[in-house]
Structure 1
Amino acid sequence: MIETPRLTLRRFKATDAAPLAAYRNDPDIARYQAWPSPLSPQAAADTVRRYAEQDPDRPGWFQYAIELKADGGLAGDLGVLLHETGAQADLGFTLAPHLHRQGYATEAVQAVIRHLFARGLHRVSAECDARNTASARLLERNGFQREGRRPEFTRNINTGEWTDTLLYGLLARDWSDLISPSSAR
């Protein structure tokens, strides 16, 4: 669906259930997310099936499977919530921990942002757990502006703790300025 030099962002398939469960069950990954953990094999299969039925062209969530071209393995997932107007979207991303710090998440996020703005979207938003400094830095590297902080906004369903949420936004015109040749001086 979306290609980059090292990745294919595609629909989920049944064989993605086990690797999805593996990285989503990692405590260092799950601590920043809202899904229940651990994810059982059946719950992972149901999740993958639900993701495969989503439509990227309709309002609502679409979850891309991030596949490594080198070996065809599932590297993570990237969700896009297209708003009813079709002019805005929210995104969120998760990458398997053994693939962190190799540029894969940045590559996937950039490809999806490029795709969304090419479709004519005006704005893309994202939020992350305030403790997740790696995700915050990734968003900022990609031109997202920090727009706020919501104290104790999200409750982790696994631990019961309340965490702060950081809010980010990126306008199409700012993205265009970032990627235009004249801004690369």
Structure 2
Amino acid sequence: MTTLHTSRLTLRPLTPDDLPRVLAYRNDPEVARYQGWALPATPDSVAGLVSDAPLGAPGWVQRAVMLSGGELVGDVGLNTQGPQAELGVTLARRAQGRGYAREALHTLVTHAFADLGLRRVHASIDPRNVAVAALLTRLSFRHEGTSLQSYRHRGEWTDDALYAVLASEWTA
């Protein structure tokens, strides 16, 4: 099981004990607004986030975002498919705007390139999520394009913006 550390955060596998807190923030309408999971999130749907799989295993692998004091404030995920992966981040509302998402994603992307040897990491977002678009740009992700009204999300046709960074760009 892969655990990553920063000066303020630990990214560790989610456990069954984490699930009530995960369920609470994933059902917060402000947190879930631009996220792809069905609402309401259920105990069964969040239980699927618990896994012993290492980061880099095929498919989605989630990690809890823990403050140095031990408080769970969100989760990040890596969906690895061959030499590339999609990433995602979800933070409880009270943890947003404090730089935790940037710190967690920077650590995750560095691990993806330096330790897993991936070639490309990308993120697919609703472009109305201006905060995440700005975060990805600050992390050196490039906006590669936007597909207009490409999927139904919570009863409306939604655009899909793709951001990506290559390993050669990350290390440069």
Bin for the TM-score computed over the shorter chain = over 0.9
Match of 1:168 among 121, 145, 163: 163
Indicate conservation of the 8 Å contact 1:54/1:61, yes or no.
no
Aligned to 1:74: 72
Runs (5+) with no aligned partner, structure 2 = none
Query: 3-state SS of the aligned residue for 1:52?
Result: coil
CA distance in 1, matches of 2:126, 2:76: 16
Cα displacement (A) at 1:134: 0.4
CA RMSD of aligned residues (A): 1.4
CA distance in 2, matches of 1:79, 1:2: 13
Structure 1 runs (4+) greater than 4 angstroms displaced: none
Match of 2:137 among 135, 140, 146: 140
CA distance in 2, matches of 1:93, 1:54: 18
Aligned to 2:101: 105
What does 1:12-31 correspond to in 2, within 5 Å? Answer: 12-31=14-33
| One-letter amino acid matched to 1:89 | A
Aligned to 1:34: 36
Indicate conservation of the 8 Å contact 1:126/1:169, yes or no.
yes
TM-score by length of 2: 0.92
Higher helix share: 1
| One-letter amino acid matched to 2:135 | L
| One-letter amino acid matched to 1:125 | H
Indicate conservation of the 8 Å contact 1:14/1:49, yes or no.
no
Aligned to 1:10: 12
User: Larger deviation: 124-133 or 47-56?
Assistant: 47-56
Aligned to 1:181: none
1:78-118: per-residue Cα shift (whole Å, max 9, x none)?
110111x2x11111111111111100000000000110111
Cα displacement (A) at 1:49: 5.0
Query: 3-state SS of the aligned residue for 1:51?
Result: coil
CA distance in 1, matches of 2:131, 2:50: 25
Cα distance change on mapping 1:66 and 1:48 into 2, 3 Å: farther
Cα displacement (A) at 1:121: 1.1
CA distance in 2, matches of 1:9, 1:37: 25
CA distance in 2, matches of 1:53, 1:35: 21
Cα displacement (A) at 1:29: 1.5
CA distance in 2, matches of 1:3, 1:111: 8
Percent of paired sites with the same residue:
43
CA distance in 2, matches of 1:67, 1:48: 18
1:153 aligns with 2:153: no
Cα displacement (A) at 1:142: 0.2
CA distance in 1, matches of 2:142, 2:26: 27
Indicate conservation of the 8 Å contact 1:13/1:49, yes or no.
no
CA distance in 2, matches of 1:161, 1:51: 30
Query: 3-state SS of the aligned residue for 1:173?
Result: helix
Aligned to 2:50: 51
Query: Radius of gyration: which is bigger?
Result: 1
Query: 3-state SS of the aligned residue for 1:109?
Result: helix
